[in-house]
Amino acid sequence: MRFNGLSLVFLLSAASVAHAQMPGGPPSVGVVRAQQTAITETSEFVGRVQAIERVSLTARVTAFLDQRLFIEGTEVKQGALLYRLERGPFEAALRQQEAAVADISARLANANIQLSRAQSLLATPAGQRSNVDDAITNQRSLAAQVLSAQAQLQVAQINLNYTEIKAPIAGKISRTNITPGNVVSPSSGVLATIVSQDPMYVLFPVSARSLTELQKRYAGQGGTNAVVIKLRMPDGSLYPLDGKIDYVEPTVSATTDTVMLRARVANPPRANDNAGQEVERPLIDGAFVTVVVEGIQPVMALGIPRKAVLSDQQGDYVYVVGADNKVELRRIQLGQSTPSTAVVAGGLKDGDMVVTEGVQRARPGMQVSPGPASPPPAAAGSGKS
């Protein structure tokens, strides 16, 4: 039999395809054994940073604003002089009240002398009871006037003190809303705002169920005080300092079924903290952060690598290799997990061989060639987020 060139090429191609389609053995997959593992349980929530103290500065008297004595956007110390108002009219009012007190005090001293004289004459034929009564009335009236004048003097001193607006707390001050040269009064509104910087609050809502589980889990160790609060910054980095929960809202939100929790976290400056200079701190009032609620000590739980867990519309599942090297799809229920380790609350038992590598090649009922999976990097084995 003769073959032309085209026929020969066709036969060779068919032979190549047949050879490629010949079975090459079961696909290889990497497996790990499901086993009890020390897991540090974590839960993540969205939180917002909030300054512990916030003060809005306002004028207490009506006067011209003479000076602004701070740099906007810097940190100020408690008691630092921030604004100075026009003092002249208030100093004059103070001197006027001092003179009024001196005048009435002198008249009171004379009334005391007159009363004493009238009382001494009462035992003589020249003395009259009516003169004594008049002297007593005059003396008491002037004593009351002295008290009133002293109160007016105190008011004048207070108003003079109000011409200097000082920082009631330490913190970062905002830009000024009113510039020198303008008249300010109690109705002028906020001049500037100071927010405290260190430490900071972080507020985050958790579901009522999650809070109950958290309190039960650590009931013997102090409840919510037993957990560690870590923060993940907006850029994904982990904040180096831990926080503690110091407040739990006493009511549950009727609309979201959540409870507001508050943590206290230190917020030290990145550089030297010098008053009057720009100070950078990691946490900013009003910023969103991810709150990681972490247990204080690991717990033993059935764990598998997180990458082995697959999901579909019915929930989470894994592929398990049986004794005959056949793949089985196993539905599982996850517990409190970490980014690297999945805690299995149901669906697996200790010793099951779970597929972690070559998952895309595994199908239920398929026979595979299992082998040990590659060990994870050392940093991923800590179980902490």
CATH of the domain at 329: 2.40.420.20
6 inside domain: no
* Rama region for 171: left / alpha / beta (φ>0; ψ in -120 to 50; rest): left
In this structure, are residues 244 and 264 in contact, taking their beta carbons and an 8 Å threshold?
A: yes
Q: What pLDDT score does 52 carry?
A: 94
20 inside domain: no
pLDDT in tens, 206-242: 888 878 877 777 776 666 777 888 898 888 888 899 8
18 inside domain: no
Instruction: Please state the three-class secondary structure of 175-223 as a single string.
Output: CCCCCCCCEECCCCCCCEEEECCCCEEEEEEEEHHHHHHHHHHCHHHCH
What does the DSSP assignment read for 261-291?
EEEEE----SS---TTS----S--TT-EEEE
Q: What pLDDT score does 362 carry?
A: 81
What distance in Å separates the CA atoms of residue 271 and residue 273, rounded to the nearest whole number? 6
Asked whether residue 204 falls in the same domain as residue 268, the answer is yes
Q: Which helix (H) or strand (E) holds 75?
A: strand 75-76
Asked whether residue 150 falls in the same domain as residue 95, the answer is yes
330 inside domain: yes
Query: Which of 245, 278, 294 is at the close of a domain?
Result: 294
DSSP state of 125: T
Asked whether residue 113 falls in the same domain as residue 75, the answer is no
- Residue ranges, the chain, pLDDT below 70: 1-24, 39-41, 122-127, 220-223, 271-277, 295-299, 336-339, 375-385
CB atoms within 10 A of CB 107: 16
Q: Domain limits at 118?
A: 88-161
Q: What pLDDT score does 359 carry?
A: 81
Asked whether residue 170 falls in the same domain as residue 78, the answer is yes
Give the list of residues 6+ apart from residue 361 with CB closer than 8 angstroms, or none. Answer: 27, 28, 29, 368
Q: What pLDDT score does 21 carry?
A: 41
Asked whether residue 310 falls in the same domain as residue 378, the answer is yes
Query: Which of 175, 195, 215 is at the close of a domain?
Result: 195
Asked whether residue 304 falls in the same domain as residue 369, the answer is yes
Q: Which two tokens stand for residue 16?
A: 């190549």
Q: What pLDDT score does 273 carry?
A: 52
- Domain count of the chain? 4
4 inside domain: no
pTM: 0.64
Asked whether residue 142 falls in the same domain as residue 264, the answer is no
CATH of the domain at 176: 2.40.50.100
CATH of the domain at 212: 2.40.30.170
Asked whether residue 63 falls in the same domain as residue 34, the answer is no
204 inside domain: yes
Asked whether residue 105 falls in the same domain as residue 136, the answer is yes
Asked whether residue 274 falls in the same domain as residue 309, the answer is no
233 inside domain: yes
Widest pairwise Cα distance in the chain: 174
Asked whether residue 81 falls in the same domain as residue 175, the answer is yes
13 inside domain: no
Asked whether residue 289 falls in the same domain as residue 211, the answer is yes
Query: Which of 139, 161, 183 is at the close of a domain?
Result: 161
Q: What pLDDT score does 336 carry?
A: 64
